[in-house]
Amino acid sequence: MKTIEFPYQNSYLPVEERIDDLLSRMTLEEKIAQLGCVMWNPHLTDNRQELAIRNGIGQISAILFGKLEGPKTVAQLIEEI
């Protein structure tokens, strides 16, 4: 079972209260990052992707699978991201 540390993690609280709590904890950079979108390529060897998501990630528009085999490998990559 997951430990609830912050009000935004408590599903029994009203949504508005959870949103207010989460937004109060986020920096401006993290809020701006939520507006962004990246196309993730797990085969890049430099740090461009890490720089792109250093403040958070709004969504992943596509994962360039390449040599990823099967849903378990894809799920592991998504968990890592």
Q: What is the pLDDT of residues 13-52, one digit of tens each?
A: 999 999 999 999 999 999 998 988 877 777 777 788 788 7
Phi/psi-derived region of residue 46, left when phi > 0, alpha when psi is between -120 and 50, beta in every other case: beta
56-70: per-residue pLDDT in tens? 888 777 666 566 677
Give the pTM.
Answer: 0.63
Residue ranges per structural domain of the chain = 1-35, 37-81
Separation of alpha carbons 68 and 65, rounded Å: 5
Confidence (pLDDT) at 67: 63
